[in-house]
Amino acid sequence: MAMPWPGVPAPQRNLRLQPQAHIRQRRFCPESDTSLGKTLRQTTPMSPEKNPARALPAFSRMLRLTRPNREDAIAFVILAGLALVVFRGAQGAVEPLSRLHLEPLLLDPGQLPYYALRTILRMFAALFASTVFTLVVATLAARSRHLGQIIVPALDILQSVPILGFLTFTVTFFMGLFPGNVLGVELASVFAIFTSQAWNMAFSFYQSLRSLPSDLEEVCQSFALSPVRRFLKLDLPFATPALVWNAMMSMSGGWFFVVASEAITVGNTTVTLPGIGSWLALAIEKQDFTAVAEAVGTMAVVIVAYDQLFFRPIVAWADRFRFEQTASTERPESWVYDMLRRTRLLPLLFAPVSAIGRLLLALEPARRARRLQAEGPRNKLAERGWQVAVYAGVVAALWWSAHYVLGTLSLGDVGQALGLAVLTLIRVVVLIVLASFIWVPLGVTIGLRPKLAESVQPVAQFLAAFPANVLFPFAVIVIVRFHLMPDIWLSPLMILGTQWYILFNVIAGASAIPSDLREAASMFGVKGWQWWRQVALPAIFPYYITGALTASGGSWNASIVAEAVSWGQSHLEAHGLGAYIADATTAGNYPQVALGIGMMSLFVLGFNRLVWRPLYAYGERRLRIG
């Protein structure tokens, strides 16, 4: 569909949209049988002396084509406003640390927009770091069998480590980098949010690379593409749609840990950063429902804003990378994306970046392809040595952890932690099954309808970003009022913030189903349960496994705050490993904290190895498209 060209007459506009080679043929071959040639023969004398050709100067043509239009003005206003806002928020991140004590956090509604700005800057900084981490680490894990043996188990363990565990060891490091400055505490907060975003995105990208269609793999091998070209031409485009949806989920999931990441404790000193998370913590501490409602309302406005200005344009742009052989009948839309496509100056501003990328690819040495083709069979001795080194490292880590824990605690403490971990495992499994029955059908329905996804997207982001600890007071009030069992009724709090990993991954999987596959199913009359069994469930299965694996690890993490909740003078606990770690952290019993985190990591890693990884392998082997 031709786009409008403001300020250009219709005949010229139609002529400029024709292919350049065709224009030259008509310009220099007037004797041809085309209508344009007949017109030129009848109306234009062919004497070059009388009518010399007047070629349009290149510079003038460039000025005419790049003359700013209305979309350029709107884009400039939006981008300039965003730049000023970012600069205003960044100023507070480089102030002296004493400034936080001189200006304590206040529940003043006038300060809430500034607090929201500081929080959103931390979250986008963490999202950028998570994206870089994902592109590097997940690619290495998918393309190198040796590195995959280390990276994948490490990701399993890291996603099971509670955010409090990261803060315990990283706050001192970051504050030591910038002593006496707020920037050190800001980096510690950004790293804490990063730990709540990166693992989901890394697993999503890894799953996409492992499920590439076999015919595309063969094409890459036939052309002997280098690793860089393969990544830019195949890996990154194919995995982009799923990565965008998981980045959206990770952004929303980061809100769950904002409260813990904005109140940094070092020894007996607590540093509270200005932000929505610290506002919520203070409002809950003072039992101020009005302040809680104001924070939630501000969150809703912020989520809608970055959904319209950031995520929805990216979803519309990423739709071009869907793997299908027929054009999609429905495509996601975004007014910001449409406006940016109509601008004339932005492509010129980003032209140097794309030119640098093409230059780097052009300068890439050709010997890489020959080296890849000349690779022989693997050295079995080196393979065995690598496996021995990996197992030796695992045994050394387990021995060191056991020596540290058993030096202070007894085997009875280990048995107690083991029993509590089994109780938490039962809760996690039951909640994942219930969430799957609810969100898989809804996710498929939303993913197959881009128009519906546009309406549901901001609502799902808000629900996923809604801090579950805001609901803890109401849970305490209801459980105390009706004398309910905390072991049962505190369990749903674990899945409130993690069930959305299943929904967003299923939406990504359903939206990636090729249009030709859906059309073929419709033509053959595949409906009902047969359609679910032969089309929908096989297509979304790898995406669902990624979401369920991440939701499982997140539920273990959330058990620390969900199995021990308070409101005023009321304190409730459910028997489980999360409450065990929370009580040990409050009491400052670091051996018990280490025992609880180690036991949680072992259970998560064991469950992933025995359940999720075999299902991953089954999806790669039997359910790969192509």
For the ranges 97-101, 140-144, 156-160, 467-471, the maximum mean pLDDT occurs at: 140-144
Higher pLDDT, 403 or 438: 438
**Residues 162 and 34 both lie in one domain:** no
**Residues 32 and 142 both lie in one domain:** no
**Residues 105 and 7 both lie in one domain:** no
Q: Which residues contact 94 (CB under 8 A, 6 or more apart)?
A: 181, 182, 183
Q: What is the pLDDT of residues 12-71, one digit of tens each?
A: 444 443 444 443 443 344 444 444 344 434 444 444 444 454 554 555 555 555 677 788
Q: Beta strands 570-573 and 263-266: pairing type? A: unpaired
**Residues 8 and 108 both lie in one domain:** no
Does position 607 have pLDDT exceeding 80, yes or no?
A: yes
In a domain, 365, yes or no: no
CATH number at residue 546: 1.10.3720.10
- Using only C-alpha atoms, the chain has a radius of gyration, in whole angstroms, of 29
Q: How many CB atoms lie within 10 A of CB 168?
A: 17
Q: Indicate the range of 14-23, 511-520, 535-544 predicted with least confidence.
A: 14-23
What pLDDT was estimated at residue 59? 52
Cα distances from 232 to residues 40, 139, 238, 247, 370, in angstroms, run 47, 12, 10, 19, 19
Q: What is the pLDDT of residues 337-369, one digit of tens each?
A: 888 888 877 777 777 777 777 776 776 665 444
How many domains, the chain?
Answer: 2
In a domain, 59, yes or no: no
**Residues 40 and 89 both lie in one domain:** no
Q: pLDDT category, 325, cuts 50, 70, 90?
A: low
Cα distances from 89 to residues 84, 122, 129, 183, 600, in angstroms, run 9, 10, 18, 12, 37
Q: pLDDT category, 138, cuts 50, 70, 90?
A: very high
Nearest Cα neighbor of 251 from 458, 546, 558 is 458
pTM over 0.95: no
Q: Indicate the range of 135-144, 344-353, 487-496, 534-543 predicted with least confidence.
A: 344-353
**Residues 85 and 126 both lie in one domain:** yes
In a domain, 517, yes or no: yes
Question: 345-362 and 70-91 are packed helices; what angle lies between their axes, rounded to 10 degrees?
Answer: 70
Q: pLDDT category, 378, cuts 50, 70, 90?
A: low
- Residues 438, 580: Cα–Cα separation, whole Å: 30
What pLDDT was estimated at residue 512? 82
Does position 406 have pLDDT exceeding 80, yes or no?
A: no
Domain encompassing residue 220: 73-321+330-360+405-622
- Residues 550, 604: Cα–Cα separation, whole Å: 11
Q: What is the pLDDT of residues 251-293, one digit of tens each?
A: 887 887 787 788 776 556 677 889 998 888 888 778 788 888 8
Q: pLDDT category, 483, cuts 50, 70, 90?
A: confident
- Residues 127, 314: Cα–Cα separation, whole Å: 14
Q: pLDDT category, 571, cuts 50, 70, 90?
A: confident
